[in-house]
């Protein structure tokens, strides 16, 4: 009865054979009767022809015994190919070279690389799983992935990828396909599968669509048992087989057949791999597929259960397969297939036809002109920086926002929000949390899978003090399983957070598992990343603060909570994006190699003990790195979160933005003098000198005054009304731990500035005197405390929380980089207090010097400058104002300076210039005495920050200048620009 039913099914399928006309043929078919194929066929014995249809498993992480087994199969059985599993690329390529050397016919090399070589090989790139790719709206990215995966596989010595998976995953409990599928929408699966396939095949790598006729609606893993699919033929034909039809039409080279029991297609109960009605009747005859038909692995329980090795391989050939993958007993398989030929179950001509097909594949992939795979630089050439950048692009494009109530993302007004983050499933601070901290101050908590109730209660109480709670829900596996291992207590805490009106959830797990998390749909913001790794965590954090945007669409339904196709668009490019150089049109190799070598040279020459470098282009941070040590004599490594003394970069980072803002408001006049805002200066030689000349360093002011020297008697002791060892109401100004300055001494400093003589000639001469006065001028105009004013109007809004004066008041000493060993004034090493003597006598708060910062936080202010006064949708300074202040003011007087800002010399002076030769005339910035450089070039939309403490151990160390490290690194940036 079963046989009769199967025959009826075959007849029905044959009647419908012409319903599906193939539009494109597999690319290798033209070689089936080529001269090369003919020559190979002439020299193959009947058994060797059978052996060409067999592919055995090879590993590059096993010992010599395994290699000898493979060599034996090649020499004695003359197998046609190898499928490689675990190992590494170099060893794999080397082994393949050895195997090819002993094979009379070139071997076809295959691998399962659904998400790239990282699926199988160590130290190679794992691209996003197909479910994440299913969320991407730009299929050209999927094509680009196909091209890149093909390049990497070919570089590793192989020719065939058992991918893409085009199963429509419409069963959330599917244990074997699941995240390996593009999703539940058959059209989306088809489109993504075609793009991926075409990318690979256009790069001359053969592909196979799998697992025919569709493995998506199973709840059994065919590695361990035979799944059964009980749908009617019409459903299978219209849904499960739909992507296969589309890929066949598009010219896919191969199809892999699954191990499935599908009564509607074959009532005999045999696995589909062994089913002639399915393979020959449907795939070949009805769908018209002429390409390579491959079995799923022949060692899987789904096909081996109840079937003997060799016999099962013979049955697979009889069913219509062309290539047997992972044959366990090669001699027996050849013998059984030979027996079948002798018995008339299959003809030698049919075997020969399949062998020709396989040889045609070998010719198409270039094996007719085989050359060994070169091993030199193989690892570097596989995992290139460009390949890594593609990975980031794919992850970014897959980000899916399912909730964004009240446009909670991107978070806008940082100054008004107290933020906490909780990483669930983490024992230490996560990459996600570190990335959140790039944007503003965030208090971080971690909660384990089964954290104690007492711990959870304590955290929840602390969270009540915050305005915004960001929850990162992490996976405990590199694969996003559809599981929820968090204890009920932990899930209850999650639920409490979800109910908060200002809560954002970044979900780093399988989307299906959202259905198992009670209340997650109540969160104001919900981001889905599909998997948990460094890149997904970085980009999810950037999405929350507007560094990147999102337009991914959910590829599967999540119970009744979310439907396939849902996904909200969120604006990106609001704040700095942290990415790769290629994303901003720069060459990683030039940038990384050039900066690293110059920094190493500076450290080797003891020009600096270490430093931080940050480079951004087009609003994208493309290089951010810490180098060396805090001090030559210690072992504390510089971190990107360490604070440096900015020295004179303070000039453009503190009072300058304040007075630009006040100028916009009509409260500050560039043509007015100091005496307009500080009447104390009315009866001085500086009265009426316009600020335009002062800020351009053309006001005839003296360069500096050694204020601290005026505190000394001839015998070296301090005058009675200057310093004391202990603080008091009269001596409140801290200069060091045992040195406190009189409260009125600032007035003496102002008096010294007022009485200082003017230079004879009105020409460019750098002076910091007026910058001691600017904070007081800001206070006089605004009626506010200077530090509060710049914090509220600039630093807090920017999220620049480490851009501050007197950092030792609020930061751990371990995170502050020391400066000079001061043995002539403070008589101790300087750390956590401003290096500049005049600034420290101002209580550390001056516009001449005094600011500290990390490179990252300084970059936010400088990026606002580069944007001509705007950042994160907030206008800080009017564009016209900014253009005026960053313009050279008195070029006719051989003065290259802007207003407060330094500018390139009017003529480039080689090594003695203040900028790189390629810096544009529109560029601007400043340098600092401690070894700082901040420079912006609007023509290239380029930001460059160099932070160091070159004054260690003494300011007499000028090697940084003689090496010209800062401007040489700046030139590297221009060299790296590819556009």
Mean pLDDT of 476-491: 92
CATH number at residue 544: 3.40.50.1700
pLDDT computed for residue 826 by the predictor: 84
pLDDT computed for residue 173 by the predictor: 93
Mean pLDDT of 143-158: 98
How far CA 727 is from CA of 305, 741, 794, in Å, comes to: 86, 8, 32
Count the residues in the chain: 979
**Inter-axis angle of helices 330-342 and 348-364, to 10 degrees?**
130
pLDDT computed for residue 8 by the predictor: 46
The alpha carbon torsion through 698, 703, 707, 709 (nearest 10 deg) reads -160
Within 10 angstroms of residue 67's Cβ, the number of other Cβ atoms is 16
Residue 328 lies in a domain: yes
End-to-end, the C-alpha distance of the chain in Å comes to 71
Mean pLDDT of 755-759: 92
Residue 554 burial (C-beta neighbours within 10 Å; 0-12, 13-18, 19+): buried
pLDDT computed for residue 541 by the predictor: 98
Q: Is the pLDDT of residue 462 over 80?
A: yes
pLDDT band of residue 2 (cuts 50, 70, 90) is very low
| Residue-wise burial string across 243-276, b where 16 or more C-beta atoms lie within 10 A, e elsewhere | bbbbbbbbbbbbbbbbbbbbbebbbeebbbbbbb
Strands 292-295 and 324-325: unpaired
Domain match, 839 and 958 both: yes
- Which of 526, 543, 575 lies at the terminal end of a domain, its last residue? 575
Residues 954/821, Cβ–Cβ less than 8 Å: yes
Helices (H), 553-632: 588-604
Strands 870-871 and 874-875: antiparallel
pLDDT band of residue 21 (cuts 50, 70, 90) is very low
Residues 813/831, Cβ–Cβ less than 8 Å: yes
Q: Is the pLDDT of residue 4 over 70?
A: no
Q: Is the pLDDT of residue 11 over 60?
A: no
Residues 120/84, Cβ–Cβ less than 8 Å: yes
Q: 3-state class of 626 per DSSP?
A: strand
pLDDT band of residue 707 (cuts 50, 70, 90) is confident
For 113-144, write each residue's pLDDT tens digit. Answer: 999 999 999 999 999 999 999 999 999 999 99
Domain match, 685 and 546 both: no
Q: Is the pLDDT higher at 719 or at 246?
A: 246
Within 10 angstroms of residue 549's Cβ, the number of other Cβ atoms is 20
Residue 392 lies in a domain: no
CATH number at residue 358: 3.20.20.300
Domain match, 191 and 295 both: yes
pLDDT computed for residue 526 by the predictor: 98
Domain match, 328 and 407 both: no
For 279-318, write each residue's pLDDT tens digit. Answer: 999 999 999 999 999 999 999 988 888 889 999 999 999 9
Residue 758 lies in a domain: yes
pLDDT computed for residue 469 by the predictor: 98
Average pLDDT, the chain: 95
Residue 354 lies in a domain: yes
Give the bridge partners for 736, in sequence order: 739
Helices (H), 835-940: 837-841, 855-866, 879-885
| Residue-wise burial string across 863-884, b where 16 or more C-beta atoms lie within 10 A, e elsewhere | bbbbbbbbbbebebbbeebbeb
Q: Is the pLDDT of residue 1 over 60?
A: no
pLDDT computed for residue 10 by the predictor: 45
pLDDT computed for residue 708 by the predictor: 74
Q: Could you list the residue range(s) of the whole structural domain that residue 734 is in?
A: 592-976
Q: Is the pLDDT of residue 20 over 80?
A: no
DSSP code for 200: H
Domain match, 345 and 466 both: no
pLDDT computed for residue 13 by the predictor: 46
How far CA 346 is from CA of 47, 65, 283, 316, 887, in Å, comes to: 14, 36, 18, 12, 85
Residue 513 lies in a domain: yes
Q: In what order do the strands lie in the sheet with 942-948?
A: 577-578, 620-628, 610-617, 942-948, 932-937, 924-928
Q: Chain-centre distance of CA 790, in angstroms? A: 33
Domain match, 570 and 598 both: no
pLDDT band of residue 609 (cuts 50, 70, 90) is very high
pLDDT computed for residue 823 by the predictor: 81
Domain match, 805 and 934 both: yes
Q: 3-state class of 620 per DSSP?
A: strand
Number of domains in the chain: 3
Q: Is the pLDDT of residue 709 over 90?
A: no
Residue 330 lies in a domain: yes
Helix (H) and strand (E) counts for the chain? 35, 32
Residues 475/449, Cβ–Cβ less than 8 Å: no
How far CA 29 is from CA of 292, 766, 862, in Å, comes to: 10, 77, 59
Q: Considering all CA atoms of the chain, what is the largest pairwise distance in Å, rounded to the nearest integer?
A: 119
Q: Is the pLDDT of residue 714 over 80?
A: no
Closest CA to 859 of 595, 541, 624: 624
Mean pLDDT of 473-487: 92
Domain match, 570 and 603 both: no
DSSP code for 85: -
pLDDT computed for residue 719 by the predictor: 80
- Which of 522, 544, 575 lies at the terminal end of a domain, its last residue? 575
Joined together, the tokens standing for residue 364 give: 């198409």
For 906-961, write each residue's pLDDT tens digit. Answer: 999 998 999 999 999 999 999 999 999 999 999 999 999 999 999 999 999 999 99
Joined together, the tokens standing for residue 94 give: 């080397």
Mean pLDDT of 804-821: 96
Residues 395/442, Cβ–Cβ less than 8 Å: no
Q: In what order do the strands lie in the sheet with 739-741?
A: 723-724, 739-741, 733-736
Give the bridge partners for 612, in sequence order: 626, 947
Domain match, 358 and 444 both: no
Domain match, 665 and 794 both: yes
Residue 226 lies in a domain: yes
Joined together, the tokens standing for residue 702 give: 């003296």
Residue located via tokens 């040590």: 629
Residue 586 lies in a domain: no
Residue 170: partners with Cβ closer than 8 Å, 6 or more residues away:
184, 216, 217, 239
Query: CA geometry: angle at 398 spanning 393 and 400, to 5°?
Result: 140
Domain match, 541 and 613 both: no
Cα gap 164→145, rounded to integer Å: 12
For 630-683, write each residue's pLDDT tens digit. Answer: 999 889 999 999 999 999 999 999 999 999 999 999 999 999 999 999 999 999
For 194-244, write each residue's pLDDT tens digit. Answer: 999 999 999 999 999 999 999 999 988 889 999 999 999 999 999 999 999
For 430-450, write each residue's pLDDT tens digit. Answer: 999 999 999 999 999 999 999
Domain match, 304 and 378 both: yes
CATH number at residue 712: 3.40.710.10
Cα gap 315→324, rounded to integer Å: 11
Q: Is the pLDDT of residue 12 over 70?
A: no
SS (H, E, C) 357-380: HHHHHHHHCCHHHCCCCCCCCHHH
Q: Is the pLDDT higher at 885 or at 751?
A: 885
- For 755-797, list the strands marked E by DSSP: none
Q: 3-state class of 623 per DSSP?
A: strand
- Which of 332, 350, 382 lies at the terminal end of a domain, its last residue? 382
For 573-603, write each residue's pLDDT tens digit. Answer: 999 999 999 999 999 999 999 999 999 999 9
């Amino acid at each position: 009865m079963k046989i009769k039913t199967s025959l009826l099914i075959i007849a029905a399928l044959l009647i419908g054979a012409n319903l599906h006309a193939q539009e494109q043929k597999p690319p290798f078919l033209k070689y089936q009767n080529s001269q090369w194929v003919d020559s190979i066929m002439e020299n193959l014995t009947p058994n060797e022809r059978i052996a060409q249809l067999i592919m055995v498993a090879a590993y590059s992480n096993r010992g010599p015994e395994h290699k000898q087994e493979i060599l034996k199969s090649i020499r004695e059985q003359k197998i046609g190919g190898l499928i490689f599993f675990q190992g590494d690329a170099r060893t794999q390529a080397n082994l393949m070279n050895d195997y090819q050397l002993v094979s009379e016919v070139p071997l076809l090399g295959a691998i399962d690389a659904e998400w790239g070589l990282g699926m199988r090989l160590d130290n190679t790139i794992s691209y996003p799983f197909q479910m994440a790719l299913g969320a991407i709206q730009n299929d050209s990215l999927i094509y680009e992935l196909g091209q890149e995966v093909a390049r990497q596989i070919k570089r590793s010595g192989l020719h065939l990828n058992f991918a893409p998976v085009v199963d429509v995953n419409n069963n959330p409990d599917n244990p074997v396909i699941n995240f390996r599928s593009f999703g539940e929408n058959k059209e989306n699966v088809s489109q993504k599968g075609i793009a991926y396939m075409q990318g690979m095949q256009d790069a001359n790598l053969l592909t196979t669509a799998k697992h025919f006729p569709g493995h998506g609606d199973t709840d059994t893993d065919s590695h361990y048992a035979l799944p059964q699919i009980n749908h009617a033929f019409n459903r299978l034909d219209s849904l499960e087989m739909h992507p296969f039809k589309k890929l066949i039409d598009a010219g896919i080279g191969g199809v892999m057949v699954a191990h499935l029991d599908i009564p509607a297609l074959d009532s005999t109960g045999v696995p589909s791999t062994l089913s002639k009605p399915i393979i020959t009747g449907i795939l070949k005859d009805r769908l018209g597929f002429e390409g390579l038909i491959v079995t799923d692995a022949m060692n899987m329980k789904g096909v081996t259960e109840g079937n003997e090795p060799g016999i099962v391989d013979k049955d697979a050939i009889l069913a219509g397969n062309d290539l047997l993958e992972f044959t366990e007993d090669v001699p027996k398989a050849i013998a059984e297939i030979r027996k079948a030929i002798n018995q008339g179950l299959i003809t030698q001509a049919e075997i020969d036809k399949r062998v020709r097909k396989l040889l045609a594949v070998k010719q198409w992939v270039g094996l007719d002109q085989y050359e060994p795979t070169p091993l030199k630089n193989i690892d570097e050439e596989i995992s290139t920086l460009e390949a890594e950048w593609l990975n980031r692009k794919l992850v970014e494009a897959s980000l899916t926002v399912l909730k964004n109530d009240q446009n909670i993302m991107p978070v806008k007004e940082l100054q008004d929000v107290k933020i906490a983050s909780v990483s669930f499933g983490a024992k230490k601070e996560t990459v996600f949390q570190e990335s959140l901290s790039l944007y503003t101050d965030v208090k971080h908590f971690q909660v384990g899978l089964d954290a104690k109730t007492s711990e959870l209660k304590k955290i929840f109480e602390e969270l009540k003090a915050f305005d915004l709670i960001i929850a990162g829900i992490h996976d405990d596996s590199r694969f996003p399983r559809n599981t929820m291992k968090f204890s009920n207590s932990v899930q209850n805490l999650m639920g409490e957070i979800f109910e908060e009106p200002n809560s954002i959830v970044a979900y780093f797990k399988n989307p299906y598992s959202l259905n198992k998390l009670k209340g997650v749909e109540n969160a104001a913001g919900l981001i889905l990343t599909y998997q948990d790794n460094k890149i997904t965590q970085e980009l999810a954090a950037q999405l929350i603060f507007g560094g990147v945007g999102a337009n991914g669409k959910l590829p599967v339904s999540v119970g009744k909570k979310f439907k396939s196709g849902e996904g909200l668009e969120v604006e990106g490019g609001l704040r700095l994006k942290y990415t790769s150089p290629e994303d901003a049109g720069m060459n990683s190799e030039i940038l990384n190699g050039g900066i690293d070598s110059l920094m190493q040279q500076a450290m080797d020459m003891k020009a600096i003990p270490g430093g931080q470098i940050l480079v951004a282009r087009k609003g994208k941070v493309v290089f951010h790195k810490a180098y060396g040590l805090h001090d030559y004599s210690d072992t504390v490594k510089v971190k990107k979160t360490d604070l440096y003394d900015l020295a004179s970069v303070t000039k453009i980072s503190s009072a300058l933005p304040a007075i630009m803002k006040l100028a916009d408001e009509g409260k500050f006049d560039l043509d007015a003098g100091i005496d307009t805002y500080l009447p104390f200066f009315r009866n001085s030689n500086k009265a009426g000198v316009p600020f335009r000349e002062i800020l351009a360093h053309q006001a005839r002011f003296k360069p500096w005054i050694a204020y601290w020297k005026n505190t000394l008697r001839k015998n070296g002791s301090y005058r009675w009304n200057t310093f004391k060892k202990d603080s008091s109401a009269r001596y409140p100004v801290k200069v060091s731990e045992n040195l406190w300055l009189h409260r009125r001494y600032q007035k003496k400093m102002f008096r010294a500035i007022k009485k200082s003589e003017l230079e004879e000639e009105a020409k460019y001469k750098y002076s910091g005197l007026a910058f001691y006065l600017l904070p007081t001028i800001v206070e006089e105009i605004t009626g506010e405390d200077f530090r509060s004013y710049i914090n509220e109007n600039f630093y807090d809004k920017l999220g620049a929380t480490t851009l501050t004066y007197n950092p030792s008041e609020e930061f751990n000493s371990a995170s502050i980089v020391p400066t000079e060993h001061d043995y002539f004034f403070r008589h101790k090493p300087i750390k956590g207090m401003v290096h500049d003597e005049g600034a420290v006598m101002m209580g550390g708060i001056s516009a001449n010097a005094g600011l500290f910062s990390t490179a990252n936080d300084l970059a936010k202010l400088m990026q606002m400058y580069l944007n001509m006064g705007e950042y994160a949708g907030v206008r800080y300074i009017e564009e016209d104002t900014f253009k005026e202040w960053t313009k050279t003011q008195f070029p006719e007087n051989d003065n290259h300076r802007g207003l407060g800002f330094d500018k390139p010399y009017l003529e480039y002076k080689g090594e003695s210039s203040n900028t790189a030769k390629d810096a544009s005339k529109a560029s601007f910035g400043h340098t600092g005495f401690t070894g700082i450089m901040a420079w912006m070039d609007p023509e290239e939309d380029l930001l460059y920050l160099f932070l160091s403490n070159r004054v260690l151990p003494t300011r007499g160390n000028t090697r940084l200048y003689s090496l010209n490290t800062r401007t040489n690194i700046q030139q590297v940036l221009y060299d790296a620009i590819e556009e």
